[in-house]
Chain A
Amino acid sequence: MDYGVEQRDQEAVVRLRGRLTFNDHAKLRALIGEMAQNKAKRQVLDLSSLEFVDSAGIGMLLIAREEMVNAGKSLVLRTAAGQVKRVLTVAQIGKIVTIED
Protein backbone atom coordinates (compact mmCIF):
# COMPACT_ATOMS: atom_id res chain seq x y z
CA MET A 1 0.00 0.00 0.00
CA ASP A 2 1.12 3.55 -0.59
CA TYR A 3 -0.61 6.88 -0.31
CA GLY A 4 -0.65 10.52 -1.28
CA VAL A 5 -1.96 13.39 0.83
CA GLU A 6 -3.67 16.46 -0.60
CA GLN A 7 -4.42 19.39 1.71
CA ARG A 8 -7.49 21.44 0.88
CA ASP A 9 -9.13 24.31 2.76
CA GLN A 10 -11.29 22.39 5.16
CA GLU A 11 -10.18 18.85 4.60
CA ALA A 12 -7.17 16.63 3.99
CA VAL A 13 -7.67 13.95 1.36
CA VAL A 14 -5.49 10.87 1.66
CA ARG A 15 -5.60 8.60 -1.35
CA LEU A 16 -4.72 4.99 -0.54
CA ARG A 17 -3.39 2.84 -3.36
CA GLY A 18 -2.80 -0.90 -3.78
CA ARG A 19 -3.46 -3.49 -1.07
CA LEU A 20 -4.06 -2.66 2.58
CA THR A 21 -3.13 -5.70 4.67
CA PHE A 22 -1.57 -7.02 7.86
CA ASN A 23 1.84 -6.01 6.47
CA ASP A 24 1.00 -2.31 6.26
CA HIS A 25 0.60 -1.80 9.98
CA ALA A 26 3.65 0.43 10.51
CA LYS A 27 2.92 2.49 7.41
CA LEU A 28 -0.69 3.12 8.36
CA ARG A 29 0.32 3.97 11.91
CA ALA A 30 2.62 6.66 10.53
CA LEU A 31 -0.15 7.92 8.27
CA ILE A 32 -2.60 8.11 11.17
CA GLY A 33 -0.04 10.17 13.09
CA GLU A 34 0.26 12.51 10.11
CA MET A 35 -3.51 12.85 9.83
CA ALA A 36 -3.83 13.65 13.53
CA GLN A 37 -1.18 16.38 13.20
CA ASN A 38 -2.25 18.29 10.10
CA LYS A 39 -4.65 21.17 10.61
CA ALA A 40 -7.70 20.02 8.66
CA LYS A 41 -10.66 19.05 10.84
CA ARG A 42 -12.01 16.65 8.27
CA GLN A 43 -9.83 13.73 7.18
CA VAL A 44 -10.95 11.91 4.06
CA LEU A 45 -9.56 8.52 3.07
CA ASP A 46 -10.11 8.17 -0.66
CA LEU A 47 -10.35 4.42 -1.31
CA SER A 48 -11.03 4.54 -5.05
CA SER A 49 -7.52 3.26 -5.88
CA LEU A 50 -7.43 0.69 -3.11
CA GLU A 51 -7.69 -2.76 -4.66
CA PHE A 52 -7.87 -4.96 -1.60
CA VAL A 53 -8.32 -4.78 2.15
CA ASP A 54 -8.08 -7.66 4.62
CA SER A 55 -9.44 -7.85 8.15
CA ALA A 56 -6.28 -6.35 9.64
CA GLY A 57 -6.67 -3.47 7.18
CA ILE A 58 -10.25 -2.89 8.33
CA GLY A 59 -8.93 -2.89 11.89
CA MET A 60 -6.47 -0.14 10.98
CA LEU A 61 -9.25 1.95 9.42
CA LEU A 62 -11.14 1.61 12.70
CA ILE A 63 -8.05 2.70 14.63
CA ALA A 64 -7.77 5.69 12.30
CA ARG A 65 -11.34 6.62 13.09
CA GLU A 66 -10.71 6.41 16.82
CA GLU A 67 -7.51 8.44 16.62
CA MET A 68 -9.30 11.16 14.63
CA VAL A 69 -12.03 11.31 17.27
CA ASN A 70 -9.35 11.61 19.95
CA ALA A 71 -7.76 14.45 17.97
CA GLY A 72 -11.13 16.20 17.69
CA LYS A 73 -11.41 15.46 13.97
CA SER A 74 -13.73 13.47 11.77
CA LEU A 75 -12.91 10.63 9.39
CA VAL A 76 -14.66 9.86 6.15
CA LEU A 77 -14.12 6.79 3.94
CA ARG A 78 -14.83 7.79 0.36
CA THR A 79 -15.48 5.98 -2.95
CA ALA A 80 -14.61 2.42 -2.08
CA ALA A 81 -14.95 0.00 -5.00
CA GLY A 82 -14.73 -3.71 -5.77
CA GLN A 83 -13.58 -6.00 -2.98
CA VAL A 84 -13.03 -3.06 -0.61
CA LYS A 85 -16.61 -1.94 -1.02
CA ARG A 86 -17.89 -5.50 -0.55
CA VAL A 87 -15.95 -5.94 2.68
CA LEU A 88 -17.08 -2.58 4.09
CA THR A 89 -20.66 -3.49 3.25
CA VAL A 90 -20.63 -7.01 4.69
CA ALA A 91 -19.02 -5.75 7.89
CA GLN A 92 -21.42 -2.79 8.08
CA ILE A 93 -18.52 -0.47 8.77
CA GLY A 94 -20.89 2.38 7.87
CA LYS A 95 -22.43 1.96 11.33
CA ILE A 96 -19.16 3.17 12.85
CA VAL A 97 -17.39 5.32 10.25
CA THR A 98 -18.91 7.78 7.82
CA ILE A 99 -18.84 6.32 4.32
CA GLU A 100 -19.40 8.43 1.20
CA ASP A 101 -19.79 7.13 -2.35
Chain B
Amino acid sequence: MSSQGMNDQGTPAGLFSAEAPDAPFTLGQARVLVVDDNRVNRHLLLALLERGGVRQVEEAEDGNDGLARLDSFKPDLVLLDLMMPHLDGFEMCRRMRADPRWKGLPVLVQSSLNRAEDRARAFAAGATDYVTKPINAVELVARVRIHLQKRALLRDLEQYHTRARRELAQARRMQEKLMPGPARLAELRSTLGIAIDSHFAPSSELGGDFWGIQRLPDGRTGVYLVDFSGHGVGAALNTFRLHAICQQLAPACGDPEDFLAAVNTRLCALLPSGQFATMLTGIVDTEAGVFDYASAGSTAPMVWAPGETEPRLGDGTGLPLGLLASMRYERRSLPLPPGGRLFLYSDAAIEIQQGCDVLDECGLAALVGRHMAQAEGARFLEGVLEDLRAAGPIDDDLTALVLTRLS
Protein backbone atom coordinates (compact mmCIF):
# COMPACT_ATOMS: atom_id res chain seq x y z
CA MET B 1 0.00 0.00 0.00
CA SER B 2 1.44 3.39 -0.89
CA SER B 3 0.41 6.56 0.88
CA GLN B 4 0.06 8.32 -2.43
CA GLY B 5 -2.46 5.83 -3.65
CA MET B 6 -4.69 6.58 -0.71
CA ASN B 7 -4.68 10.33 -1.04
CA ASP B 8 -6.63 10.43 -4.25
CA GLN B 9 -9.58 8.78 -2.55
CA GLY B 10 -11.34 12.04 -1.68
CA THR B 11 -11.43 11.31 2.03
CA PRO B 12 -13.71 13.68 3.94
CA ALA B 13 -12.00 16.22 6.17
CA GLY B 14 -11.16 14.90 9.60
CA LEU B 15 -8.86 12.48 11.25
CA PHE B 16 -7.79 10.67 8.14
CA SER B 17 -7.29 13.17 5.37
CA ALA B 18 -4.16 14.82 6.70
CA GLU B 19 -2.33 11.63 7.52
CA ALA B 20 -0.72 9.01 5.43
CA PRO B 21 -2.55 5.75 6.18
CA ASP B 22 0.42 4.20 7.88
CA ALA B 23 1.36 7.29 9.90
CA PRO B 24 1.11 6.75 13.65
CA PHE B 25 -2.30 7.53 15.05
CA THR B 26 -2.51 10.86 16.90
CA LEU B 27 -5.34 12.09 19.11
CA GLY B 28 -4.48 15.67 18.20
CA GLN B 29 -6.14 15.35 14.81
CA ALA B 30 -9.26 13.62 16.08
CA ARG B 31 -12.57 15.51 16.06
CA VAL B 32 -14.96 14.84 18.91
CA LEU B 33 -18.53 16.09 19.20
CA VAL B 34 -19.76 16.46 22.78
CA VAL B 35 -23.57 16.32 23.08
CA ASP B 36 -24.91 17.23 26.53
CA ASP B 37 -27.65 19.64 27.65
CA ASN B 38 -25.72 20.65 30.74
CA ARG B 39 -23.18 23.39 30.05
CA VAL B 40 -21.08 22.56 33.11
CA ASN B 41 -20.86 18.93 32.02
CA ARG B 42 -19.87 19.95 28.51
CA HIS B 43 -17.08 22.12 29.82
CA LEU B 44 -15.85 19.40 32.11
CA LEU B 45 -15.75 16.89 29.24
CA LEU B 46 -14.05 19.42 27.01
CA ALA B 47 -11.37 20.01 29.60
CA LEU B 48 -10.82 16.28 30.09
CA LEU B 49 -10.53 15.68 26.36
CA GLU B 50 -8.13 18.57 25.95
CA ARG B 51 -5.98 17.33 28.74
CA GLY B 52 -6.02 13.91 27.05
CA GLY B 53 -4.74 15.44 23.83
CA VAL B 54 -7.96 15.90 21.83
CA ARG B 55 -7.90 19.45 20.55
CA GLN B 56 -10.75 19.62 18.04
CA VAL B 57 -13.96 19.47 20.04
CA GLU B 58 -17.37 20.89 19.23
CA GLU B 59 -20.36 21.15 21.58
CA ALA B 60 -24.04 20.50 20.99
CA GLU B 61 -26.77 21.03 23.58
CA ASP B 62 -29.30 18.36 22.60
CA GLY B 63 -29.94 15.62 20.04
CA ASN B 64 -31.30 17.99 17.39
CA ASP B 65 -28.33 20.30 17.75
CA GLY B 66 -25.99 17.28 17.64
CA LEU B 67 -27.51 15.90 14.44
CA ALA B 68 -27.36 19.34 12.82
CA ARG B 69 -23.63 19.60 13.51
CA LEU B 70 -22.63 16.19 12.17
CA ASP B 71 -22.51 17.25 8.56
CA SER B 72 -20.36 20.34 8.97
CA PHE B 73 -18.10 19.13 11.78
CA LYS B 74 -17.67 15.54 10.58
CA PRO B 75 -16.70 14.14 13.97
CA ASP B 76 -14.61 11.02 14.38
CA LEU B 77 -16.40 10.23 17.63
CA VAL B 78 -19.52 11.40 19.46
CA LEU B 79 -19.57 11.67 23.24
CA LEU B 80 -23.27 11.45 23.98
CA ASP B 81 -25.46 12.18 27.01
CA LEU B 82 -28.74 10.24 27.18
CA MET B 83 -31.19 12.41 29.13
CA MET B 84 -31.69 15.61 27.15
CA PRO B 85 -34.72 17.80 26.23
CA HIS B 86 -36.16 17.95 22.66
CA LEU B 87 -34.31 14.94 21.30
CA ASP B 88 -32.65 12.57 23.76
CA GLY B 89 -29.46 10.54 23.30
CA PHE B 90 -31.28 7.28 22.53
CA GLU B 91 -33.14 8.84 19.62
CA MET B 92 -30.13 10.74 18.32
CA CYS B 93 -28.19 7.49 18.31
CA ARG B 94 -30.95 5.66 16.43
CA ARG B 95 -31.12 8.41 13.80
CA MET B 96 -27.36 8.36 13.29
CA ARG B 97 -27.40 4.60 12.78
CA ALA B 98 -30.18 4.93 10.22
CA ASP B 99 -27.98 7.23 8.12
CA PRO B 100 -25.30 5.41 6.12
CA ARG B 101 -22.87 8.29 6.66
CA TRP B 102 -22.89 7.85 10.46
CA LYS B 103 -23.57 4.15 10.69
CA GLY B 104 -20.00 3.36 11.69
CA LEU B 105 -19.29 6.46 13.78
CA PRO B 106 -18.19 5.53 17.32
CA VAL B 107 -20.74 6.77 19.86
CA LEU B 108 -19.50 6.76 23.43
CA VAL B 109 -22.42 7.25 25.79
CA GLN B 110 -21.73 9.09 29.06
CA SER B 111 -24.68 9.06 31.38
CA SER B 112 -25.75 9.08 34.99
CA LEU B 113 -28.27 6.34 34.11
CA ASN B 114 -26.62 3.38 35.67
CA ARG B 115 -29.04 0.45 35.52
CA ALA B 116 -28.43 -2.57 33.34
CA GLU B 117 -31.66 -1.84 31.40
CA ASP B 118 -30.42 1.66 30.54
CA ARG B 119 -27.17 0.30 29.20
CA ALA B 120 -29.02 -2.35 27.22
CA ARG B 121 -31.33 0.30 25.76
CA ALA B 122 -28.38 2.48 24.79
CA PHE B 123 -26.65 -0.40 23.05
CA ALA B 124 -29.90 -1.37 21.34
CA ALA B 125 -30.10 2.21 20.01
CA GLY B 126 -26.65 1.74 18.50
CA ALA B 127 -24.19 2.99 21.13
CA THR B 128 -20.63 1.77 20.75
CA ASP B 129 -19.63 2.00 24.37
CA TYR B 130 -20.86 3.31 27.73
CA VAL B 131 -19.31 5.16 30.66
CA THR B 132 -21.23 6.28 33.73
CA LYS B 133 -21.06 9.55 35.59
CA PRO B 134 -19.26 10.60 37.64
CA ILE B 135 -16.72 10.48 34.85
CA ASN B 136 -13.36 8.90 35.52
CA ALA B 137 -10.96 11.06 33.49
CA VAL B 138 -8.42 8.35 32.72
CA GLU B 139 -11.05 5.83 31.70
CA LEU B 140 -12.85 8.33 29.47
CA VAL B 141 -9.73 9.33 27.56
CA ALA B 142 -8.62 5.70 27.28
CA ARG B 143 -11.95 4.68 25.78
CA VAL B 144 -12.01 7.65 23.42
CA ARG B 145 -8.55 6.71 22.24
CA ILE B 146 -9.44 3.03 21.70
CA HIS B 147 -12.51 3.85 19.63
CA LEU B 148 -10.70 6.44 17.56
CA GLN B 149 -7.84 4.05 16.90
CA LYS B 150 -10.21 1.30 15.89
CA ARG B 151 -12.06 3.64 13.56
CA ALA B 152 -8.81 4.82 11.97
CA LEU B 153 -7.74 1.24 11.31
CA LEU B 154 -11.13 0.32 9.89
CA ARG B 155 -11.09 3.31 7.58
CA ASP B 156 -7.65 2.38 6.35
CA LEU B 157 -8.78 -1.13 5.69
CA GLU B 158 -11.95 -0.02 3.93
CA GLN B 159 -10.06 2.40 1.71
CA TYR B 160 -7.49 -0.22 0.87
CA HIS B 161 -10.21 -2.71 0.12
CA THR B 162 -12.12 -0.31 -2.11
CA ARG B 163 -9.02 0.61 -4.04
CA ALA B 164 -7.88 -3.00 -4.41
CA ARG B 165 -11.33 -4.03 -5.62
CA ARG B 166 -11.45 -1.24 -8.18
CA GLU B 167 -7.99 -2.00 -9.48
CA LEU B 168 -8.64 -5.72 -9.67
CA ALA B 169 -11.85 -5.12 -11.62
CA GLN B 170 -9.93 -3.00 -14.07
CA ALA B 171 -7.16 -5.58 -14.36
CA ARG B 172 -9.79 -8.23 -14.92
CA ARG B 173 -11.18 -6.31 -17.90
CA MET B 174 -7.65 -5.99 -19.26
CA GLN B 175 -7.08 -9.70 -18.85
CA GLU B 176 -10.28 -10.56 -20.68
CA LYS B 177 -9.03 -8.42 -23.55
CA LEU B 178 -6.01 -10.72 -23.94
CA MET B 179 -8.39 -13.20 -25.48
CA PRO B 180 -10.09 -12.78 -28.85
CA GLY B 181 -13.38 -10.87 -28.62
CA PRO B 182 -16.68 -11.61 -30.38
CA ALA B 183 -15.77 -9.56 -33.46
CA ARG B 184 -12.52 -11.45 -34.00
CA LEU B 185 -14.26 -14.79 -33.50
CA ALA B 186 -16.98 -13.86 -35.99
CA GLU B 187 -14.29 -12.97 -38.51
CA LEU B 188 -12.51 -16.32 -38.00
CA ARG B 189 -15.79 -18.09 -38.44
CA SER B 190 -16.58 -16.44 -41.76
CA THR B 191 -13.08 -16.41 -43.25
CA LEU B 192 -11.66 -19.72 -41.98
CA GLY B 193 -14.74 -21.78 -41.29
CA ILE B 194 -13.65 -22.27 -37.69
CA ALA B 195 -16.05 -21.55 -34.86
CA ILE B 196 -14.72 -21.07 -31.33
CA ASP B 197 -16.71 -20.98 -28.13
CA SER B 198 -14.94 -20.38 -24.88
CA HIS B 199 -15.31 -20.06 -21.15
CA PHE B 200 -12.95 -18.14 -18.87
CA ALA B 201 -13.55 -18.15 -15.11
CA PRO B 202 -10.68 -17.20 -12.78
CA SER B 203 -11.12 -18.56 -9.25
CA SER B 204 -10.42 -15.06 -7.87
CA GLU B 205 -10.61 -11.72 -9.69
CA LEU B 206 -7.66 -12.55 -11.89
CA GLY B 207 -6.46 -15.83 -13.27
CA GLY B 208 -3.41 -17.61 -14.58
CA ASP B 209 -5.09 -18.94 -17.71
CA PHE B 210 -5.51 -17.57 -21.19
CA TRP B 211 -5.91 -18.78 -24.73
CA GLY B 212 -5.29 -17.34 -28.16
CA ILE B 213 -5.74 -17.97 -31.80
CA GLN B 214 -3.50 -16.83 -34.59
CA ARG B 215 -3.74 -16.99 -38.33
CA LEU B 216 -0.35 -18.07 -39.67
CA PRO B 217 1.21 -16.56 -42.81
CA ASP B 218 0.59 -19.83 -44.72
CA GLY B 219 -3.15 -19.61 -44.02
CA ARG B 220 -3.34 -22.27 -41.32
CA THR B 221 -4.75 -21.48 -37.89
CA GLY B 222 -2.74 -21.71 -34.69
CA VAL B 223 -4.47 -22.07 -31.34
CA TYR B 224 -3.05 -22.24 -27.81
CA LEU B 225 -4.13 -22.58 -24.21
CA VAL B 226 -1.91 -21.57 -21.29
CA ASP B 227 -2.23 -22.26 -17.56
CA PHE B 228 0.26 -20.71 -15.16
CA SER B 229 1.11 -22.41 -11.89
CA GLY B 230 -0.81 -20.96 -8.98
CA HIS B 231 -3.53 -18.39 -9.42
CA GLY B 232 -4.33 -14.82 -8.44
CA VAL B 233 -2.39 -11.67 -9.21
CA GLY B 234 1.06 -13.24 -9.61
CA ALA B 235 -0.15 -15.81 -12.12
CA ALA B 236 -2.18 -13.12 -13.90
CA LEU B 237 0.85 -10.88 -14.36
CA ASN B 238 2.59 -13.82 -15.98
CA THR B 239 -0.25 -14.22 -18.47
CA PHE B 240 0.40 -10.68 -19.71
CA ARG B 241 4.07 -11.42 -20.19
CA LEU B 242 3.41 -14.66 -22.01
CA HIS B 243 0.71 -13.10 -24.15
CA ALA B 244 3.23 -10.55 -25.43
CA ILE B 245 5.73 -13.32 -26.15
CA CYS B 246 3.14 -15.38 -28.03
CA GLN B 247 2.08 -12.40 -30.13
CA GLN B 248 5.67 -11.83 -31.08
CA LEU B 249 6.71 -15.42 -31.76
CA ALA B 250 3.64 -17.08 -33.23
CA PRO B 251 3.80 -15.57 -36.74
CA ALA B 252 7.40 -16.76 -37.14
CA CYS B 253 6.89 -20.36 -36.02
CA GLY B 254 5.33 -22.73 -38.48
CA ASP B 255 5.48 -25.81 -36.28
CA PRO B 256 3.90 -26.13 -32.86
CA GLU B 257 6.93 -27.85 -31.31
CA ASP B 258 9.22 -25.01 -32.43
CA PHE B 259 6.81 -22.42 -31.16
CA LEU B 260 6.65 -24.13 -27.77
CA ALA B 261 10.44 -24.41 -27.56
CA ALA B 262 10.88 -20.73 -28.46
CA VAL B 263 8.29 -19.63 -25.89
CA ASN B 264 9.96 -21.84 -23.29
CA THR B 265 13.38 -20.31 -23.82
CA ARG B 266 11.94 -16.82 -23.37
CA LEU B 267 9.98 -17.80 -20.26
CA CYS B 268 12.96 -19.51 -18.63
CA ALA B 269 14.73 -16.15 -18.59
CA LEU B 270 11.73 -14.45 -16.95
CA LEU B 271 10.21 -16.78 -14.38
CA PRO B 272 11.55 -17.12 -10.85
CA SER B 273 12.03 -20.57 -9.41
CA GLY B 274 8.84 -22.44 -8.61
CA GLN B 275 6.78 -20.70 -11.30
CA PHE B 276 5.98 -22.35 -14.60
CA ALA B 277 3.23 -22.67 -17.17
CA THR B 278 1.62 -25.55 -18.92
CA MET B 279 0.73 -24.89 -22.53
CA LEU B 280 -0.80 -26.68 -25.44
CA THR B 281 -0.37 -25.22 -28.87
CA GLY B 282 -1.47 -26.64 -32.17
CA ILE B 283 -2.30 -25.97 -35.77
CA VAL B 284 -5.57 -26.75 -37.46
CA ASP B 285 -4.63 -28.09 -40.87
CA THR B 286 -7.90 -28.07 -42.79
CA GLU B 287 -6.36 -29.56 -45.93
CA ALA B 288 -4.91 -32.59 -44.19
CA GLY B 289 -7.83 -32.74 -41.72
CA VAL B 290 -5.58 -32.91 -38.68
CA PHE B 291 -4.70 -31.00 -35.55
CA ASP B 292 -0.91 -30.99 -35.12
CA TYR B 293 0.07 -30.02 -31.63
CA ALA B 294 2.77 -29.93 -28.99
CA SER B 295 2.27 -29.89 -25.25
CA ALA B 296 4.20 -28.66 -22.23
CA GLY B 297 2.50 -30.62 -19.46
CA SER B 298 -0.95 -29.52 -20.56
CA THR B 299 -4.17 -31.45 -20.18
CA ALA B 300 -4.93 -34.01 -22.89
CA PRO B 301 -6.70 -32.42 -25.87
CA MET B 302 -9.91 -34.14 -26.96
CA VAL B 303 -11.21 -34.45 -30.51
CA TRP B 304 -14.15 -36.15 -32.18
CA ALA B 305 -15.73 -36.38 -35.60
CA PRO B 306 -19.45 -35.97 -36.30
CA GLY B 307 -21.38 -39.05 -35.26
CA GLU B 308 -18.78 -40.35 -32.82
CA THR B 309 -19.95 -41.08 -29.30
CA GLU B 310 -16.81 -40.68 -27.28
CA PRO B 311 -13.90 -38.26 -27.61
CA ARG B 312 -10.43 -39.32 -28.64
CA LEU B 313 -7.80 -38.21 -26.12
CA GLY B 314 -4.48 -36.79 -27.19
CA ASP B 315 -1.31 -36.73 -25.10
CA GLY B 316 -0.44 -33.69 -22.99
CA THR B 317 2.86 -35.02 -21.67
CA GLY B 318 5.77 -32.60 -21.71
CA LEU B 319 7.88 -30.53 -19.37
CA PRO B 320 6.06 -27.31 -18.42
CA LEU B 321 7.42 -24.01 -19.72
CA GLY B 322 9.96 -22.03 -17.75
CA LEU B 323 11.86 -24.90 -16.12
CA LEU B 324 14.59 -25.99 -18.54
CA ALA B 325 15.72 -23.61 -21.27
CA SER B 326 17.10 -26.30 -23.58
CA MET B 327 13.90 -28.34 -23.62
CA ARG B 328 12.67 -29.68 -26.96
CA TYR B 329 9.07 -30.66 -27.55
CA GLU B 330 7.43 -33.38 -29.57
CA ARG B 331 4.91 -32.96 -32.37
CA ARG B 332 1.75 -35.04 -32.07
CA SER B 333 -1.30 -35.28 -34.24
CA LEU B 334 -5.03 -35.89 -33.91
CA PRO B 335 -7.60 -36.24 -36.71
CA LEU B 336 -9.83 -33.22 -37.21
CA PRO B 337 -12.06 -33.79 -40.25
CA PRO B 338 -14.69 -31.33 -41.47
CA GLY B 339 -17.39 -31.01 -38.82
CA GLY B 340 -14.93 -32.28 -36.24
CA ARG B 341 -14.37 -30.70 -32.85
CA LEU B 342 -11.41 -29.98 -30.62
CA PHE B 343 -11.85 -29.46 -26.90
CA LEU B 344 -9.15 -27.82 -24.76
CA TYR B 345 -9.41 -27.04 -21.03
CA SER B 346 -7.32 -26.05 -18.04
CA ASP B 347 -6.54 -28.57 -15.31
CA ALA B 348 -9.26 -27.23 -12.99
CA ALA B 349 -11.67 -29.36 -15.06
CA ILE B 350 -9.92 -32.61 -14.13
CA GLU B 351 -9.01 -31.69 -10.56
CA ILE B 352 -12.53 -31.59 -9.19
CA GLN B 353 -12.55 -33.78 -6.13
CA GLN B 354 -14.48 -37.06 -6.29
CA GLY B 355 -14.25 -38.78 -2.93
CA CYS B 356 -10.52 -39.17 -2.27
CA ASP B 357 -9.62 -39.06 -5.97
CA VAL B 358 -10.28 -36.45 -8.67
CA LEU B 359 -12.46 -36.40 -11.79
CA ASP B 360 -9.37 -36.92 -14.03
CA GLU B 361 -9.28 -37.08 -17.82
CA CYS B 362 -11.32 -40.26 -18.16
CA GLY B 363 -14.06 -38.78 -16.00
CA LEU B 364 -14.06 -35.60 -18.06
CA ALA B 365 -14.11 -37.58 -21.32
CA ALA B 366 -17.21 -39.46 -20.15
CA LEU B 367 -18.85 -36.19 -19.25
CA VAL B 368 -17.92 -34.67 -22.62
CA GLY B 369 -19.37 -37.75 -24.31
CA ARG B 370 -22.79 -36.91 -22.93
CA HIS B 371 -22.83 -33.57 -24.76
CA MET B 372 -20.94 -34.38 -27.95
CA ALA B 373 -24.06 -34.62 -30.09
CA GLN B 374 -24.90 -30.99 -29.35
CA ALA B 375 -24.68 -29.10 -32.68
CA GLU B 376 -24.04 -25.67 -31.20
CA GLY B 377 -20.56 -25.21 -29.71
CA ALA B 378 -21.84 -22.77 -27.09
CA ARG B 379 -24.56 -25.19 -25.97
CA PHE B 380 -22.05 -28.04 -25.82
CA LEU B 381 -19.79 -25.95 -23.57
CA GLU B 382 -22.68 -24.89 -21.34
CA GLY B 383 -23.70 -28.51 -20.88
CA VAL B 384 -20.17 -29.61 -19.98
CA LEU B 385 -19.69 -26.72 -17.54
CA GLU B 386 -22.99 -27.42 -15.87
CA ASP B 387 -21.97 -31.05 -15.34
CA LEU B 388 -18.56 -29.96 -14.03
CA ARG B 389 -20.12 -27.63 -11.49
CA ALA B 390 -22.47 -30.39 -10.43
CA ALA B 391 -19.48 -32.74 -10.01
CA GLY B 392 -17.99 -30.63 -7.22
CA PRO B 393 -16.57 -27.24 -6.27
CA ILE B 394 -14.05 -25.84 -8.78
CA ASP B 395 -11.28 -24.10 -6.84
CA ASP B 396 -8.86 -23.13 -9.59
CA ASP B 397 -9.06 -21.00 -12.74
CA LEU B 398 -11.18 -22.77 -15.32
CA THR B 399 -10.76 -22.10 -19.00
CA ALA B 400 -12.39 -24.22 -21.65
CA LEU B 401 -12.38 -23.89 -25.39
CA VAL B 402 -14.24 -25.75 -28.09
CA LEU B 403 -13.20 -25.35 -31.70
CA THR B 404 -15.52 -26.58 -34.42
CA ARG B 405 -14.55 -27.07 -38.06
CA LEU B 406 -17.59 -25.89 -39.92
CA SER B 407 -16.62 -27.31 -43.28
- Complex contacts, B275 vs chain A, CB 8 Å: 59
Whether the Cβ atoms of B278 and A91 lie closer than 8 Å is yes
- Residues in chain B near residue A56, CB distance under 8 A: 229-231
| Interface size, B (range) | 20 to 34
| Most chain A C-beta atoms within 10 Å of own C-beta, residue among B274, B318, B320, B351 | B274
> In the complex, what distance in Å separates the CA atom of A87 from the CA atom of B317?
9
Question: Contacts A83-B360, A86-B360 known; A62 to B276 CB distance under 8 Å?
Answer: yes
B273 and chain A: residue at smallest CB distance: A66
Let me know if B357 and A83 touch, CB within 8 A. yes
Q: Does A92 reach chain B (CB closer than 8 Å)? A: yes
B323 contacts A by Cβ under 8 Å = yes
A91 pairs with B230, CB closer than 8 A: no
Expressed in whole angstroms, the Cα–Cα distance for A82 and B319 within the complex equals: 19
Whether a CB of chain B sits under 8 angstroms from the CB of A98 is no
Dominant secondary structure at the B interface? loop
Q: What is the 8 Å Cβ interface bit string for chain B, positions 34-59, against chain A (1 contact, 0 not)?
A: 00000000000000000000000000
Cα-based distance from A93 to B297 in the complex (angstroms): 9
Chain A, range 16-46, C-beta contacts under 8 Å to B: 22
- Asked whether B324 is an interface residue with its Cβ less than 8 Å from the other chain, the reply is yes
**Distance of A50 from chain B, by nearest CB (Å):** 11
Q: CB of A52 within 8 A of chain B?
A: yes
Q: Interface residues of A, CB < 8 Å — how many?
A: 22
Query: Given A59-B275, A62-B273, A92–B231 Cβ distance below 8 Å?
Result: no
User: B-facing mask of A48-69, CB < 8 A → 1, else 0?
Assistant: 0001101110111011001000
Q: A22-B230, A54-B396, A92-B297 are in contact. Are A59 and B317 (CB under 8 A)?
A: no
B340-365 to A contact mask, C-beta < 8 Å, 1/0: 00000001000101001110100000
Chain A minimum-CB-distance residue to B277: A55
On chain A, the residues within 8 Å of B358 by CB distance are 52, 83
B324 touches which of A54, A58, A66, A95 (Cβ 8 Å): A95
- A92 contacts which of B227, B228, B319, B357 (Cβ < 8 Å)? B319
B392 nearest CB across to chain A (Å): 12
Establish whether residues B229 and A92, one from each chain, have CB atoms under 8 Å apart when the complex forms. Answer: no
Q: Check A89 for interface membership: any CB of B closer than 8 A.
A: yes
A91-B319 contact, Cβ under 8 Å, with A52-B351, A55-B227, A83-B357: yes
Q: With A59-B276, A60-B274, A92-B319 as known contacts, state yes or no: A82 contacts B229, CB within 8 Å.
A: no
- How distant is the Cα of A96 from the Cα of B322 in the complex, in angstroms? 12
B369 within 8 A of A: no
Select from chain A the residue with minimum beta-carbon distance to B396: A54
In the bound complex, do residue B320 and residue A91 qualify as a contact, i.e. CB atoms below 8 Å apart? yes
Interface string of A76-96 (1 = CB under 8 A from B): 000000110010011111011
Report if A55-B230 is in contact (Cβ < 8 Å); known contacts: A83-B357, A92-B319, A96-B324.
Answer: yes
B14 within 8 A of A: no
Closest A residue to B299 by CB, please name it.
A90
Known A91-B320, A95-B319, A96-B319; judge A55-B273 contact (CB<8 A): no
User: What is the distance, in angstroms, from B296's C-beta to the closest C-beta of chain A?
Assistant: 8
Measured between beta carbons, the chain A residues less than 8 angstroms from B231 are 22, 56
CB-nearest residue of chain B to A28: B274
Greatest chain B CB density within 10 A among A55, A58, A59 is at: A55
Q: Which residues of A contact B276 (CB under 8 A)?
A: 55, 58-59, 62
Q: How far is the CA of A86 from the CA of B357 in the complex (A)?
A: 12
B347 touches A92 (CB 8 A): no
Q: Is the CB of A90 within 8 A of B324?
A: no
- Alpha-carbon gap, A28 to B360, bound state (A): 25
Chain A residues near B317 (CB, 8 Å)?
89-90, 92
For the complex with contacts A51-B356, A59-B230, A92-B297, 10 further pairs of A-B residues with Cβ separation under 8 Å are: A54-B396, A59-B275, A63-B273, A66-B273, A83-B351, A83-B357, A86-B360, A89-B317, A91-B320, A96-B324
A-B contact pairs, 14 of them (CB 8 A): A22-B230, A52-B358, A55-B227, A55-B229, A56-B229, A59-B274, A60-B274, A62-B276, A63-B273, A83-B358, A90-B297, A91-B278, A91-B320, A96-B324
